[in-house]
Amino acid sequence: MKLDVDALRYLSKDDFRVLTAVEMGMRNHEIVPSELVDRIASLKHGGTYKVLKNLLKHKLVHHDSSKYDGFRLTYLGYDFLAIKTLVNRGVFTAVGRQIGVGKESDIFEVANEDGSILVMKLHRLGRTSFRAVKSKRDYLRHRRSYNWLYLSRLAALKEFAFMKALEEHGFPVPNAVDCNRHCVVMSLIHGYPLVQVRELQSPEAVFERILGLLVRLAEHGLIHCDFNEFNIMIDEEEKVTMIDFPQMVSVSHRNAQMYFDRDVDCIYKFFSKRFNLSLEEQIDNPDNSEEDSEGSSRPCLSSISKSVGFLDKELAASGFTRKEQDDMDKFVEEGKDNDICSDEEENSAGMDETIVRDVDSLHLLDQQVHLIKGDEEKNEENRQSCEGQLSEPCGEDESEENGNDAELVKRLNKQRRRAIAAVHRGGKTLASRNSYKDKGGRSSHNSKIQKQLSSW
Ligand code: ADP
Ligand code: MG
């Protein structure tokens, strides 16, 4: 997906206020009724509809009037909220070129004030294979809708927590810098994904190092679950760095054995094909732990002494709730069956494009860095940063909105009158024919929202 951050420079405080209002409304609405957006945003001089029109023009929100008139955030809108927050926090000041397109993410270089380059990973769950299996997923079947933004946020949160924990335990991973919404900021790895590497000085040593990582992870109670040539970076000195952690599971997972063996298989197959290591006997044969001709034996999960509990502890420390963890696990687990390591031939067509793009991306930021923030804005914004996060949506359930709020009714009536007047004037209003029946709101809920919104 193209990420054009130019518009970010021209968006006003009100634009962000309304965008955040849509995000907040999505906590319990798939499509947020226009009236609710207006109520949450509570712009001093009205004008929510005008702002929504502007957001629509920039493709930051999507308009839907199939059931009632409403809006939802687009991925771009969500990107902007995350980027704005991270810029406000001083994590980076400019967004550069895209350096990677993962299965379910877009990766960009970003620069901070002193010119150093970091990596921003925007999670996009549901973009590819997951979308196809959505209808088959048990836990989604019970919902009328599912919020991909919520899942992407969980993926980012989990990835950030793991990256941090793994780094603290001495694993070769990028340095986890910050995280907001579906976005993780980390250090740039100066290297290539292993899939792009045609030659190694000592493939055996690299192979051993990589397998050693799998074993060490298991000793820490973890299985990567997507441990393959796309998620292992290698630099000029043949130093290995692991990336991509949202799908990791504990060794106590009921399918742990299968995931572990699959990770091992991916590495065996890749090294056997690409670097002609003679590992054939041990491929697809987890029971064969005899030494191969390279002198190594295939790691076996049951013979690794593990410290179970690491995963739960680290995730809990990061604020990742049990429920979020379960949601994420269910989602990832079903997706995992579709995500297998490559048999090179099968993948070649699809990967070429990515490889070309990735190789191109290895140059550092060029002159096209987009400065996304004016100095005059910065001081004020730095003082306040919005932490708005999507929580789990609850489909069509609007029970939270029940109650009698005279103030709201008054405002809604006023709004309707304005909308009718606009229609009479022949102007096209964003309020639709199928007006949403808002049932009021709780004032405590409102004041919490107001507090959060005032930070934009
Ligand atoms: P996905 O979860 O979508 O597979 P990844 O985290 O694997 O995303 O990243 C996709 C690609 O982006 C990687 O193959 C790599 O080329 C690039 N990439 C990701 N993280 C970094 C990083 N920290 N430094 C350099 N390149 C990176
Ligand atoms: Mg990956």
- Give the number of the atom of ligand 1 that is nearest the alpha carbon of residue 244: 6
d(CA 105, ligand 2 centre) in Å: 8
**The model's pTM:** 0.75
Residues surrounding ion ligand 2 at CB below 5 Å: 102, 230-231, 244
- Give the number of the atom of ligand 1 that is nearest the alpha carbon of residue 104: 3
Q: Considering only CA atoms, which of 415, 411, 444 is closest in space to residue 429? A: 415
pLDDT reported for residue 352: 29
Rounded mean pLDDT, 125-142: 49
- Give the number of the atom of ligand 1 that is nearest the alpha carbon of residue 192: 16
Q: Is the pLDDT of residue 454 over 50?
A: yes
Residue 45's pLDDT band (cuts 50, 70, 90): confident
Quick one: which ligand is closest to 247's CA?
1
d(CA 67, ligand 2 centre) in Å: 38
d(CA 195, ligand 1 centre) in Å: 12
Q: Whose CA is nearest to atom 3 of ligand 1?
A: 102
Residue 355's pLDDT band (cuts 50, 70, 90): very low
Q: Which residue did the predictor score with more confidence, 268 or 348?
A: 268
| CB of 102 closer than 6 angstroms to any ligand 1 atom | yes
User: Could you tell me the CA-to-CA distances from 363 to 176, 280, 315 in Å, in that order?
Assistant: 22, 37, 34
Q: Whose CA is nearest to atom 17 of ligand 1?
A: 100
Residue 46's pLDDT band (cuts 50, 70, 90): confident
Q: How many CB atoms lie within 10 A of CB 321?
A: 13
d(CA 359, ligand 1 centre) in Å: 12
| CB of 104 closer than 6 angstroms to any ligand 1 atom | yes
Beta carbons of 191 and 236 less than 8 angstroms apart: yes
| CB of 35 closer than 6 angstroms to any ligand 1 atom | no
d(CA 435, ligand 2 centre) in Å: 43
Whole-number Å distance between alpha carbons of 246 and 166: 13
pLDDT reported for residue 21: 96
Order across the sheet with 183-187: list the strands.
Answer: 176-180, 183-187, 117-123, 105-111, 94-102, 370-371
Residue 236's pLDDT band (cuts 50, 70, 90): very high
| CB of 119 closer than 6 angstroms to any ligand 1 atom | yes
The percentage of residues in the chain with a pLDDT greater than 90, rounded to a whole number, is: 48
pLDDT reported for residue 229: 96
| CB of 263 closer than 6 angstroms to any ligand 1 atom | no
pLDDT reported for residue 351: 29
d(CA 103, ligand 2 centre) in Å: 6
Rounded mean pLDDT, 392-408: 39
What is the residue-averaged pLDDT of the chain?
75
| CB of 184 closer than 6 angstroms to any ligand 1 atom | no
Q: Whose CA is nearest to atom 12 of ligand 1?
A: 100
The string of pLDDT tens digits covering residues 11-31 is 999 999 999 999 999 988 989
d(CA 242, ligand 1 centre) in Å: 10
Q: How many CB atoms lie within 10 A of CB 264?
A: 23
pLDDT reported for residue 214: 96
Q: Whose CA is nearest to atom 26 of ligand 1?
A: 189
Q: Considering only CA atoms, which of 250, 261, 246, 189 is closest in space to residue 217? A: 250
Order across the sheet with 232-234: list the strands.
Answer: 192-193, 232-234, 240-242
pLDDT reported for residue 325: 78
Q: Which residue did the predictor score with more confidence, 311 or 435?
A: 311
- Give the number of the atom of ligand 1 that is nearest the alpha carbon of residue 195: 14
Q: Whose CA is nearest to atom 9 of ligand 1?
A: 102
pLDDT reported for residue 387: 38
Q: Which of 175-189, 265-279, 422-436 has the highest mean pLDDT?
A: 175-189
Quick one: which ligand is closest to 101's CA?
1
| CB of 191 closer than 6 angstroms to any ligand 1 atom | no
What crossing angle do the helices spanning 148-168 and 322-336 adopt, rounded to 10°? Answer: 100
Instruction: State the catalytic residues.
Output: 226
- Give the number of the atom of ligand 1 that is nearest the alpha carbon of residue 188: 24
Quick one: which ligand is closest to 226's CA?
2
